[in-house]
Each structure stands twice: as structure tokens, then as C-alpha cells.
């Protein structure tokens, strides 16, 4: 495209068009439910075995005392949830837990710390954890809050495969959930992670009082990143007493499943993880989520500070559905 100005000619190419427009995403979301699920399952089968699900394990390596005011979080120092703060776990204990997770069938190990951002004094231990867990043959993932480029480079050099940093919701609704950082801060961390050579794990939470359009816009933002996240966790809010969202109305199951299907269509090569909130889902709801394209779950009876289905419940569900661990 040539831009003509007085006496000069510019050959600067126009900005790339977004992969997904809001209108296109909304049109898909509003398809008849059967049509939406059929399309999502058809796309899912082009890129994944439809009967295999990745098992991940998440360990809270530092609990509570977070300076952020995320309205959903039990670990925020702004909320009176009764959760005590803890110090960073010792490396040896983290590795021992990772070894047990591998023996239980997990192939990916995620470690989370309740921080706004890691402090320099914590980085040596964090790097040691990554290297040790990686040495067990597990895929590694961490969520530590915001990162600068130097920190993301150190994690990448240690062998971290994925970094999780959710955008949580749409840019429009974000200030109603969190005030201690901006939506753009989230995107900056994602860019540092990508530039450092790690894979991005990024999704959101449904049921925080947002509108359906906010859920769709969240996926539009993710799908239009320079590269779509390789892992997209979709969480259903677990209302925690003492948090601002303790009394949030639950999302309707069909609305939740629609977002799973839309995520699969818009990011066909990504793992779509059915994350927090599974304890409140029926087997039938989870089955429809798997049919809609979810192909990863967290295993173990605890997910950070909240409950999660026990291994035996997941084993029975997989048996009923004919699913196998990836």
C-alpha cells in the first residue's frame, strides 16, 4: 500500500488485520447449540485425538499475602478470607510433590505463587525448582504474577516450558474485577514470556458478573495475540467467602460450554483446559465440555486453595466416557 504525501512516497505496510473480529466471534457463539458443538468437535478432531485428555497437576508453592486485589482470589491481602500467608516452599519439597504427580499420571506440572511479581531474592530458588522438575521428565509451567524481561529470560534459560498469566476477562470488564494493575500490564507480561521463547498459558474466569459479550471479547483478545496461547485455561468462578465475588451468580452450564466450544474453534491448535470449578460441574456438563473441545484438566483434590475432583472421581468419569490420559 502506498501512502502519498507531498514529495515523498512511503512503502510502510499496513498493520496486519486481526485474526478474529468481534463480529465473527459473536456470530459463531450465537449459533444453534448443536451446530456450535459439531463445528468445535470437527475442528478438534483435525488437531487432536478426541478421546485423550492431558493431565496436569498444580501446586501452590507460596500461599496468601498477595498485594493484588483480584476480586475472585482467596489469596489477596485485601480480602478477609482467613487464609494465612506462607513462605516459598523449599525446592526439595516441590520436587517430591512433582515426583508423586508424575507417578499419578500427570505429564505437566504447574507451580503457582501468590505474588504481584517475584522478588529478586526468590528467583534463584524458582529457577532451581524449574530445572529439578524438568529433570523428572515433566512439562513445566509456572504462574508467579507479572514478569519483566530479565525474569522471563531466566525462567526460559532454566527450561520452563509454559508461563501462565491469565487476562481473566474482557478489557472492558477488567477494572470491575481488579484495580491494582491494568489490563495492559497482563499483555506486557505475555509479550515478555513470548519474546523469551516460552509458551504462553493464558485464559480467564467465567461467572464473575460479566456479560456474555465480555466472555467472547476475552477470547478475541487471546486469539488475536501475535501467537495464540498454546494453552487456554477456562475457569468457572469458585465463590470464596470473604472476597468481593463471594455472592456472584453462577454461570449457566450451556453458556460455559459455548465458551469452551468457541475457544476450540478460534484457537484450534491450543490445549483448552477445563480448570477451576469442576467440583461444581456434573459429569454430563464435563462430558459436553470435552465434546466441545476441552482436552486438558487439573488432577488432584486441591487446586491452589480450592477443591477439585478427587482422582477416583476423574478415573470413573474417564472410564464412562472412554477417555484416556494424554
pLDDT tens column, 193-230: 999 999 999 999 999 999 999 999 999 999 999 999 99
- Would you say residue 7 has pLDDT above 70? no
Q: Which of 73, 181, 278, 289 is catalytic?
A: 73
Active site residue 110: yes
pLDDT at 9: 40
Check 215, 273, 278, 289 and give the catalytic one: 273
Q: Does 164 reside within a domain?
A: yes
| Average pLDDT value for the chain | 89
Range with the poorest average pLDDT among 26-30, 74-78, 137-141 = 74-78
202 is catalytic: no
Query: Per mean pLDDT, which range of 44-48, 142-146, 159-163, 308-312 is the poorest?
Result: 308-312
Helices and strands in the chain: count of H runs, count of E runs: 10, 14
Judged against a pLDDT cut of 70, whether residue 63 lies above it is answered with yes
- Which tops the pLDDT comparison, 39 or 108? 39
Task: Give per-residue pLDDT as tens, 265-279.
Answer: 999 999 999 998 898
Burial 115-134 (b: 16+ CB within 10 A, else e): bebbeeebbebbbebbbbbb
Q: Out of 62-76, 177-191, 255-269, which region has the weakest mean confidence (pLDDT)? A: 62-76
Would residue 24 count as lying in a domain?
no
By residue range, what is the domain housing residue 99?
A: 34-325
CATH of the domain at 183: 3.20.20.70
Pairing outcome for strands 3-5 and 8-10: antiparallel
- CA distances for 19 relative to 219, 250, 263, angstroms: 11, 31, 13
Q: How many domains does the chain have?
A: 1
Instruction: Give the active site residue among 66, 186, 215, 278.
Output: 66
130, pLDDT greater than 90:
yes
Whether 38 is in a domain gets the answer yes
Average pLDDT in the 3-27 region?
Answer: 63
Question: Which pLDDT band holds residue 305 (cuts at 50, 70, 90)?
Answer: low
Q: Look at residue 146 and tell me if it is in a domain.
A: yes
pLDDT, residue 242, reads 87
Higher-pLDDT residue of 107 and 29 is: 29
Given 201, 258, 264, 278, the catalytic residue? 201
User: Minimal CA–CA distance to 314: which of 99, 102, 100, 54?
Assistant: 54
108, 141, 258, 278: which one is catalytic?
A: 141
Q: Look at residue 27 and tell me if it is in a domain.
A: no
Residue 14 resides in a domain? no
What pLDDT score was predicted for residue 10? 38
Residue 297 lies in a domain: yes
β-sheet bridge partners, residue 233: 273
289 catalytic residue (yes or no): no
Percent of the chain with pLDDT over 70: 91
Q: Range with the lowest mean pLDDT among 101-105, 118-122, 192-196, 300-304?
A: 300-304
Contact 164, 233 (CB under 8 A): yes
User: Does 273 participate in catalysis according to the annotation?
Assistant: yes
Residue 15 scores a pLDDT above 90: no
> What confidence tier does 306 reach under pLDDT thresholds 50, 70, 90?
low
pTM of the predicted protein model:
0.89
Active-site pick, 110, 181, 215, 278: 110
115 has a pLDDT exceeding 90: no
**Phi, psi of 140, rounded to the nearest 5 degrees:** -115, 145
70 a catalytic residue: yes
Amino acid at each position: 500500500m502506498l501512502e502519498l504525501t507531498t514529495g515523498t512516497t512511503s512503502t510502510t505496510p499496513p498493520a496486519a488485520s486481526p485474526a478474529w473480529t468481534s463480529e465473527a466471534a459473536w456470530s459463531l457463539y450465537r449459533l444453534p447449540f448443536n451446530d456450535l458443538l459439531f463445528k468445535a468437535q470437527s475442528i478438534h478432531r483435525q488437531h487432536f485425538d478426541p478421546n485423550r485428555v492431558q493431565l496436569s497437576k498444580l501446586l501452590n508453592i507460596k500461599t496468601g499475602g498477595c498485594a493484588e486485589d483480584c476480586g475472585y482470589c482467596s489469596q489477596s491481602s485485601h480480602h478477609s478470607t482467613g487464609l494465612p500467608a506462607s513462605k516459598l516452599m523449599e525446592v526439595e519439597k516441590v520436587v517430591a510433590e512433582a515426583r508423586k504427580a508424575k507417578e499419578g499420571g500427570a505429564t505437566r506440572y504447574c507451580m503457582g505463587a501468590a505474588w504481584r511479581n517475584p522478588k529478586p531474592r526468590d528467583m534463584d530458588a524458582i529457577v532451581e525448582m524449574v530445572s529439578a522438575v524438568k529433570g523428572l521428565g515433566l512439562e513445566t509451567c509456572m504462574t508467579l504474577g507479572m514478569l519483566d524481561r530479565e525474569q522471563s529470560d531466566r525462567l526460559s534459560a532454566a527450561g520452563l516450558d509454559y508461563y501462565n498469566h491469565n487476562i481473566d476477562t474482557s478489557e472492558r470488564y477488567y477494572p470491575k474485577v481488579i484495580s491494582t494493575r491494568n489490563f495492559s500490564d497482563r499483555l506486557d507480561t505475555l509479550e515478555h514470556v513470548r519474546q523469551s521463547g516460552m509458551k504462553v498459558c493464558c485464559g480467564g474466569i467465567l461467572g464473575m458478573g460479566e456479560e456474555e459479550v465480555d466472555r467472547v471479547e476475552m477470547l478475541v483478545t487471546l486469539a488475536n495475540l501475535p501467537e495464540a496461547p498454546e494453552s487456554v485455561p477456562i475457569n468457572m468462578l469458585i465463590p470464596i467467602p470473604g472476597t468481593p465475588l463471594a455472592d456472584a451468580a453462577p454461570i449457566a452450564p450451556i453458556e460455559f460450554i459455548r465458551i469452551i466450544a468457541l475457544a476450540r474453534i478460534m484457537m484450534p491448535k491450543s490445549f483448552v483446559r477445563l480448570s477451576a470449578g469442576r467440583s461444581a460441574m456434573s459429569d454430563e456438563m464435563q462430558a459436553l465440555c470435552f465434546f466441545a473441545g476441552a482436552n486438558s484438566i487439573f488432577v488432584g483434590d486441591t487446586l491452589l486453595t480450592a477443591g477439585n475432583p478427587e482422582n477416583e472421581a476423574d478415573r470413573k468419569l474417564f472410564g464412562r466416557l472412554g477417555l484416556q490420559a494424554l
